[in-house]
Amino acid sequence: MRRFTTTNNRTSPDRRRGAAVVEFAIMAPVFLTLTLGSVEVGYALNASNTLYGVLREGGRLASQDWSTMLGPGETANAKVTQDLKNMLTAGRIPGNQVTIEIVHADGANAGDPFDLEDENNYLEMFTITASVPFDQISLLPGDYLGGQDLRASISFRMGRSNLD
């Protein structure tokens, strides 16, 4: 007479539980890294959009008539630069860490400083550039993009429109 014995080919729940812990230990750091990286990239894109929006408003401001807007001893370039930094600070980008340049956009003077009050610059193109070190706007600690700057620039034509 032949005896049949049944064997349980399934692994015991305790052994499977150990495998799940190992799988979690391997995948959790990967998942966490991808999640935090996505958050960081999203925040960088938001900061970039803020930079471009502020520069757009700054270019509009820079193209206006300055005769009634400047205080005693204040230059148009200094006012635009300070206004841009204030707007960036309001947009959660540290304005005191931002570098702003206003330069000629084209022609023989391309790259040279652009004087917003100079009448010879009427209808000339100028570029406003803002840059901030990425570690100043990063949400996460660490040196992921150390030494990298977030930059935005926009070009306008000096129009001197009077808004009276």
pLDDT digits (tens, 9 = 90+) for 28-46: 999 998 998 888 888 889 9
Query: Is residue 163's pLDDT more than 90?
Result: no
pLDDT of 162 reads: 52
Q: What is the pTM of this model?
A: 0.76
Average per-residue pLDDT for the chain: 84
Secondary structure of the chain as H, E, C letters:
CCCCCCCCCCCCHHHHHHHHHHHHHHHHHHHHHHHHHHHHHHHHHHHHHHHHHHHHHHHHHHCECCCCCCCCCCCHHHHHHHHHHHHHHHCCCCHHHCEEEEEECCCCCCCCECCCCCHHHCCCEEEEEEEEEHHHCCCCCCCCCCCCEEEEEEEEECCCECCC
What is the residue extent of each domain of the chain?
13-157
Query: Is residue 160's pLDDT more than 80?
Result: no
